[in-house]
Amino acid sequence: MEDLTPKKEAKLFLDLKYRETNPSEWSGLPIEAIKGVSEPDAELLRKAFNIKTVADLATLKYARWAEEIVELADKGATELSGFEDKLIKEYEKRKPAGVARAPIYALQGVSQGDADKLAEAFRIKTVRSFSKLKYYKMAKELHGIQMELIEKEAIRHPHPGTGEEKLAAKHKKSNFMLIALIIALILVLLLFFYLMLRKSSAHMVEVSGEEFHAEADAAFEEMEDDLEGEPADTAEAEQAVSSVSSASSVEPEPTAPAATDGYYVVAPGDTLAVISHKKYGTYRKTRAIFNANRSVLSNPNKIWPGMKLKLP
């Protein structure tokens, strides 16, 4: 099994009270956790570059630029290609060796005040001395060890969702979306058939209603044809009613009393015409009675004793 224990000497870069800290937490330690960096020094770094942790110092871009410039100078390079935007205008055309001897504020983004704070905290004034700052080197070592541990741990225990697992998850998601689409289509089809069924039912009800009223009107017209021979005077009308009453008296069944609250209870032998004559003294209210009771009558000739009819 691969040894993941960090270098023992790396702990010596930490102040005594931080040496038992787990290596996985080194990058997040405050700057003063580095051995030799006092709290006032750490405060000056915070004010100059707004850095607070070991990781912040280890990745400070100005220190990295200084390292690159000094490396070129030590190799005898005569140009600083690619550093045009990393130096103030006064030093853009100078050779690497000259820039290495320049003050730290020659770096683009480092002010005179920032350089003075570095000089106060660590007694460094030039780009070369900045690149050699030992606390920067310590921070890089501590941060690098933690990053190496994280990388090795990731290799030993791959994060779920990578490789084949990630591909399987992608296929699973695709299958889920396909199933959801199929379900949505089925629901749309069901809704379509439901609406069509409702429309068809409504049409059938409308047709049935029209047929009902047509049948009722035909029956009523037939009844009116029968009533065209209505007696010319009241005496003949009364004789017709008397004849109906005499015919009904043959059957001894008791008749239901007529209602007095705007309704009439049909008696044996009653027709709509008889009821019209009884209540209004004329047969011409027959259609009005039928129209007022269309909710219970489908045919003006089909009424029965005991039925309660509304009077118009």
User: Please, what is the angle between helix 39-49 and helix 112-122, to 10°?
Assistant: 160
Among 210, 236, 220, residue whose Cα is nearest residue 273 = 220
Cβ atoms 263, 269 nearer than 8 A:
no
Among 304, 225, 277, residue whose Cα is nearest residue 289 = 277
For the chain, 312 residues long, the average pLDDT of each consecutive 10-residue run is 53 89 90 93 93 94 94 91 87 91 95 94 94 93 87 68 61 85 93 87 57 58 54 43 44 48 88 90 89 88 89 90
- Domain ranges in the chain? 8-158, 214-312
Q: How far is CA 135 from CA 34, 129, 297, 301, in A?
A: 7, 12, 106, 114
Distance CA 208, CA 108 (A): 91
Distance CA 180, CA 275 (A): 67
Distance CA 203, CA 162 (A): 60
Q: What angle do CA 16, 24, 29 make, to 5 degrees?
A: 50
CATH topology of domain 214-312: Membrane-bound Lytic Murein Transglycosylase D; Chain A (3.10.350)
Question: What pLDDT is attached to residue 149?
Answer: 82
Question: What pLDDT is attached to residue 228?
Answer: 47
Cβ atoms 258, 265 nearer than 8 A:
yes
Phi, psi of 71 (to 5 degrees): -60, -40
Q: What residue has token string 């005991």?
A: 306
Question: What pLDDT is attached to residue 211?
Answer: 56
